[in-house]
Structures are given as structure tokens and as C-alpha cells.
Amino acid sequence: MSWKILQFQYSQIIEKIREKKNFSSDWKKFQVLSNEINKNPPLAISTLQQSVEQIAKIKPKNKIRIFDHGCGAGLKIIYLACIGYKNIYGVNVNFDVYPINKILKSKFKLSEQRFFQTEGKKVPFKSNFFDFIISCQVLEHLREDEIYHYYSEEGRVLKKNGLVYHEVPHKLIPYESHTRLWLIHLFPNFLKPLLYGIFISVQKKKNLFFKGRYYAERYTKNFLILRMPNFHKKMLKRYIGNFKDLTQDRLSSQSDLSSYDRDSPIRLRKLIQKIFTIPLLGKLVIIIFKNFFILQTLAKKK
């Protein structure tokens, strides 16, 4: 069962909530899809789900307090609620969290507000409150004055022996999924206006050459700030504790790639996966090249 179908179904729910329409039938479909996906989770959710299941071994699902630190529209956290992890909370900066709270109130009968829109630094929860924290592709959007607060707040609100799952695009990934361009983010900043102007003009098939400076600013200073993998590992050690790099395990698995965006290099990813699954050789290739893929970590608070 494709994650993309669930994603579409969720977008229908959000749209109806915003239009103040009844979304009960869409919600029932979402629940059915969630339960089907739970039987064989695809790449988009499998590593995160396996991580939270470590807490579920020692604590009932509905008692695990989960915090989505930058929840976006809320798809992943609502999916987890549908499969039993109902004790959920979250914050976000860019998305209105009203639809998420509406779902919790209407379908999970929760009267208290659980999701908040914040300024991106302090989170509105007390210390030592959560068993598990999720951060999926958020850190690459944080400025220098925000990222240290982000990690520090995770350390503050996480319980002792609690876990934090991070999924982080970084500077060493050759294909940058936000711009859908190869390698440009690796060039010196003074060349980026020229390169963005050329390649985005080719990509969009119209003359955007003179907007190269705008795109360079957007994808270098404002919207997208890519850092080295070791920076994030140091932050985990400083603010959380010991961590495991999950990237190698993910690349070694036989993953369902149906959740990939159509515009991403899916054929190349399928070819790479075949190489990764070759006995002995595949493992060696993964060890050599794992730093060129999204970093996934699971950290445990001291």
C-alpha cells in the first residue's frame, strides 16, 4: 500500500477541515490505509516506526508521549496515532496547526490543545516530558540563531532514557531534493547566483537567469541551510547523549521506493539499491557511500 495514497488522503482531510466540511468518510479511508501500511511500512515511515517501537517494547503504545518537533502538516504523527500511538504533541512554524488539533478533538476526543504554532526556538512543554521525539527534515531550514536552541530544547523536554529520531538532509548529499538539482549546493557562494540562474532556467524551461541571485539567497541563507553530518552528530552528543547512525541499516534493507517523489532520481535509486543488496560487495559500498544519503539517527538521553 503506497505512502503516496495515504499522503493524498490526508491532504483531502486537511482541505475539508479548512473549508469547514465534514471529513468523516475521508477519515475512515485514512484509518484503513494506515492499518494496511502498518503491516509493511514503506521507506517513508519504516525507520521512524522501527525506532518508536523500541519504546513500545517497554511501555504501552497509548502511554508513550511523542513530540513531533516541526510537524509540518502532521501526516506522520497522525499516522502514528492511527496505529496506536495516540499520546501525541507537536509544534510548527510555517504550517497552521489548527487542522491537526481539529482531528485530535473530533476523532480522538482530546479536548486539550496538543499542537502549537511557535516562533521556532522555545517549545511550550515542561522539562522531562516526552518519551520520544521526532524531527523529520526540519534542521536544514534552521538559521544559526535557531539550531542550537532547537537541539537544546529537545534535550530539555526529553525524559531520561528517552529517544530522539532525526532525519536530516545535509551538505554531502549530491542531489538536493528541495531544489531538485545536482551538486550546486556544494559550490562556493559567489558562484551560486550564476549556477542557479542557468540550471533553474533549464529545469523550468523558461528564462530565469536573472533570478539566480534570488534562488541563491533562498537556498543558501534563508530557506535552506545545509550543514555537514558531523555537525549534527556533535549536537546530539552535546544536548542529548549517545546515538546510533541508522543510515547504514536503512540502505541495507529491501525498501519500497514508491513513496519517492516523481521528480526525484528514482531509477538511479533503484539501481543503487540493487548494488547495496549484493552480498558482501553491497555492504562495503554502503560503508563507503552512506554519507552521501540523508542522515538518520536515534539518540538516547543520558
pLDDT of residue 254: 63
Write the pLDDT tens digit of every residue in 63-100: 999 999 999 999 999 999 999 999 999 999 988 999 99
Write the pLDDT tens digit of every residue in 43-73: 889 999 999 999 999 999 999 999 999 999 9
Over residues 130-152, mean pLDDT: 96
Same domain, 64 and 128: yes
CATH number at residue 53: 3.40.50.150
> Domain of 208?
179-223
Say how far apart CA 73 and CA 294 lie, in whole Å: 21
Same domain, 218 and 290: no
Same domain, 239 and 154: yes
Over residues 272-296, mean pLDDT: 90
Same domain, 29 and 155: yes
**How many domains would you assign to the chain?**
2
Q: Output the CA angle 252-258-262, nearest 5 degrees.
A: 115
- Domain boundary pick from 197, 223, 249: 223
Residues 6+ apart with CB under 8 A from 122: 149, 153
pTM recorded for the entire structure: 0.92
Over residues 158-184, mean pLDDT: 95
3-state SS string for 123-177: CCCCCCCEEEEEEECCHHHCCHHHHHHHHHHHHHHEEEEEEEEEEECCCCCCEEC
Write the pLDDT tens digit of every residue in 251-278: 887 666 666 666 667 787 788 888 888 8
Say how far apart CA 234 and CA 124 lie, in whole Å: 25
The confidence band for 222, taking pLDDT boundaries of 50, 70 and 90, is: confident
Phi-psi region of 205 (alpha: psi -120 to 50; beta: other; left: phi over 0): left
Same domain, 112 and 214: no
Same domain, 93 and 200: no
Same domain, 187 and 239: no
Write the pLDDT tens digit of every residue in 185-213: 999 999 999 999 999 999 899 999 999 99
Same domain, 85 and 123: yes
Same domain, 131 and 194: no
Same domain, 124 and 249: yes
Same domain, 27 and 128: yes
Same domain, 147 and 38: yes
